Amino acid sequence: MAEANPLILVVEDEEIVREIVCLDLAEAGFAVLEAASGDEAIVLLRNRSAGEDAVDLLFTDIRMPGTLDGWTLAEQARDLAPGLGVIYASGHITRPERAVPGSIFLSKPYRTANLLESLRRLQGA
């Protein structure tokens, strides 16, 4: 059940950062999918857009290789799943420029505790 074990898609092009975030989230009780680019992430989201396998939360970097940056990824993800929780992270941008409604923005570097608090806020817990 999604509420007992929410599925979060982590999208981060820096492998070491992605691995650490995924490990921290798994230890906090989240089911975790990972993608190294927005292009890879949108494929995962399309394949899981309905049913039990649907992604509950999206945590995305903004600047990534490929055709989709984090802003565009979140917009397309919300088209697939209007209730999707979104958290953006960036070390290059200090304020959200194109954030989808109800999303959260974290500046890098961020603390794991801040990320977990943000995820729980999006869940309504």
pLDDT tens sequence across 52-93: 788 999 999 999 999 999 999 999 999 999 999 999 999 887
- Is the pLDDT at 3 greater than 60? The verdict is no
Is the CB of residue 35 less than 8 Å from the CB of residue 9? yes
Reference 119, options 50, 31, 46, 48; nearest CA is: 31
Catalogue all structural domains in the chain, each as residue range(s) with its CATH number: 7-123 (3.40.50.2300)
Q: How confident is the model at residue 2 (pLDDT cuts 50, 70, 90)?
A: very low
Each residue's pLDDT tens digit, 9-49: 999 999 999 999 999 999 999 999 999 999 999 999 998 87
Q: Report how far residue 48's alpha carbon sits from residue 110's, in angstroms, rounded to the nearest whole number.
A: 28
Number of residues assigned to the chain: 125
The model's pTM:
0.92
The dihedral through the CA atoms of 27, 39, 90, 80 has a sign that is negative
Tokens of residue 43, six digits: 């494929």
Q: How confident is the model at residue 1 (pLDDT cuts 50, 70, 90)?
A: very low
Q: Report how far residue 67's alpha carbon sits from residue 39's, in angstroms, rounded to the nearest whole number.
A: 7
DSSP reduced 3-state for 69: coil
Reported as half-sphere exposure (CB side, CA atoms, 13 A), residue 21 has a value of 29
Each residue's pLDDT tens digit, 92-108: 877 778 899 999 999 99
